Structure 1
């Protein structure tokens, strides 16, 4: 069972590894009970994973009430290797290294303003190699997130010029000889909410990402829903009626995208760059021009969220938006506008816990699933479980 991009696992192998990832430290006997599998089958798979170095034994658990040997406990071996997640944004790219248990390390943000795509790709390669040089373990896989439509690991449409139909996965896969997963930012954010919030917390959720475009990642019954050729969740191009003249229509992106809102703010502030401190100060100072812009943003965002809530009836809608992270008070305005609308289902509206890294960590989860050959199974990260351990004597 060698971990590579061509790996295949049996159903039993997948389930045993899933148990160790999600429930470790865990014993072979507990895995056998959880899965209703023969102990010999579990032991054979366990031994192969241990020999491979993908899992490690960390101590002994507590004996049963009847006494007997204390069970040996196993965990995923996070020193086996790591993955790197990259987000390609309009004027920068961000990177994050992640262990196989989902713990993030070494966040990096690099400006690409006025830099052509070829140079951006070279910069990404340089930073990947730099991350690799700083580690003793091996790189197992890469993920890339971007605004656009991704289908079968190919870019069908992209917000960044030059990326449409470019085989980004092959380009970096050939350079580093590892599997590469492509995903749009909203889907990555939805994966983050599903995999890092705790087992079973969100079986049906929608994560709305507001960046250069407005898009939605959709989780149904624990699985990512992509729709026809990956087009599910492309809501930014949908029309919205004007607040004051309903016969006039603009797109959701026009009213709600981060790019559009920040352009309006920079225009009234007479600045050529975003000054987040100034935005926060003007908001707290009740600056009329800023409040008017933000009220428009809240109103139109509420219309979008109400439509999503009525159409999909999710357990919750999670919002991933830097403007809301900067001004979380706006959530009350958004909820207030939604409450005024006559819709049958009003899902809870929540602000994501980690807007800066959510998509990156969701991308890391996607590539971890791939390198472990567990694409179709739920992995739950940072699921701390108390256990009594004793060191194994060497």
Structure 2
């Protein structure tokens, strides 16, 4: 078997850059040892990356026991450029800028209540343009996340009106002349758990996001599993048997999605907007109406997570839900319901460490992979930003 030299060269370049991203600061000799490549090949690639400005040298490491010259250490040059990640939800969009090492800043959440699609696109366009104008480095790519089915960068179905079949990627790629990646929120959250929170630990995981819809992002053997036409993880429309009425059923979205649960809470509170402080106060005060609603939510979510655990046998299932970030104690009820199920596989059930920004940061990772030409390779980041609870809109 003869391996094409150009393909082999490209593979080596990708692996050297991957080493610098994941293990930097790192020396050329250490890269050579890690990859089992000869030092001349590594030095040639290293020099090219340095010339392009993708990496930078940051001093010297420790010499070997035999003495000799101290090795020069290299890091990814985070000043080379930045990416933007945007999530579009039912009544708002959120946005972060992110450096190439995964560290993010400039979080912004913008209400789009009673705003049409064209205006939403104009609002996003304006904020991207403002970010570019204020930055002293260049934009390398944009990621968009939304609820729906997305395949090969096309929106096949969406919870938001007007987005189905709209070529969002081309629209913004043409405007800003950068690559654009589209992904659904659950897949973005799964990327975050793989690349940030898990720090390479979880090779088989499921991230369940509970927003306008309930969806699962599935990582199998370190790679995102999309299924036929990107339909994997579309669990919100699956039927779920009613707890009290035998033979009756509704969808997972009806029992577990954020909107219906919050509507039930607002109904007993006789208000038309979500008050997170009151929800927390009622929970700590054991308000019976709230306790009953949350018990229903925990029961049905337990059924969903139990089925996923038994079917996919992941290393872990991570739940991303604002209601559980507000009331993490409810997750213990969910675990109790799963423990009662007669299933063989019960994976650890965890809460996302950053429910508010997980999908945004996962989107940033996806576009960083694209910008660096490392789509098929594992990158491990450490995001040092602290999460801040954001009020949930009805």
TM-score when scaled to structure 1? 0.94
* CA distance in structure 1 between the partners assigned to 2:330 and 2:198 by the alignment: 27
Counterpart contact for 1:198–1:383, Cα < 8 Å? no
* CA distance in structure 2 between the partners assigned to 1:268 and 1:115 by the alignment: 28
How far residue 383 of structure 1 moved from its aligned partner, in angstroms, is 8.8
Counterpart contact for 2:104–2:383, Cα < 8 Å? no
Instruction: Report the number of matched residues.
Output: 377
* CA distance in structure 2 between the partners assigned to 1:383 and 1:146 by the alignment: 22
1:95-174 matched pairs, under 5 angstroms: 95-174=95-174
Please name the residue that 1:175 is paired with. 175
Counterpart contact for 2:102–2:383, Cα < 8 Å? no
How far residue 382 of structure 1 moved from its aligned partner, in angstroms, is 1.9
How far residue 219 of structure 1 moved from its aligned partner, in angstroms, is 0.4
Please name the residue that 1:361 is paired with. 361
1:222-371 matched pairs, under 5 angstroms: 222-371=222-371
Q: Aligned-pair RMSD on alpha carbons? A: 1.2
Counterpart contact for 1:198–1:381, Cα < 8 Å? no
Of stretches 344-353 and 130-139 in structure 1, the one that deviates more from structure 2 is 130-139
* CA distance in structure 2 between the partners assigned to 1:143 and 1:197 by the alignment: 19
* CA distance in structure 2 between the partners assigned to 1:162 and 1:273 by the alignment: 25
Please name the residue that 2:392 is paired with. none
SS at match of 1:10: helix
**Would you identify which runs of 4 or more consecutive aligned residues in structure 1 move more than 3 Å?**
none
How far residue 191 of structure 1 moved from its aligned partner, in angstroms, is 0.2
Taking structure 1 as reference, are residues 248 and 234 closer, same or farther at Cα in structure 2, changes over 3 Å only?
same
* CA distance in structure 1 between the partners assigned to 2:316 and 2:246 by the alignment: 29
* CA distance in structure 2 between the partners assigned to 1:87 and 1:104 by the alignment: 15
Gaps of 5+ in 2: 1-7, 385-394
Counterpart contact for 1:143–1:181, Cα < 8 Å? yes
Taking structure 1 as reference, are residues 325 and 198 closer, same or farther at Cα in structure 2, changes over 3 Å only?
closer
How far residue 268 of structure 1 moved from its aligned partner, in angstroms, is 1.1
How far residue 198 of structure 1 moved from its aligned partner, in angstroms, is 4.5
Greater RCO (CA < 8 Å, at least 6 residues apart): 1
* CA distance in structure 2 between the partners assigned to 1:294 and 1:329 by the alignment: 11
CA deviation digits over 1:160-196, x for unaligned, max 9?
A: 0000000000000000000000000000000000000
How far residue 130 of structure 1 moved from its aligned partner, in angstroms, is 1.5
Counterpart contact for 1:9–1:373, Cα < 8 Å? no
SS at match of 2:140: strand
Please name the residue that 2:391 is paired with. none
Please name the residue that 1:61 is paired with. 61
Counterpart contact for 2:103–2:383, Cα < 8 Å? no
Counterpart contact for 1:22–1:383, Cα < 8 Å? no
* CA distance in structure 2 between the partners assigned to 1:71 and 1:353 by the alignment: 37
* CA distance in structure 1 between the partners assigned to 2:76 and 2:222 by the alignment: 23
Counterpart contact for 1:172–1:180, Cα < 8 Å? yes
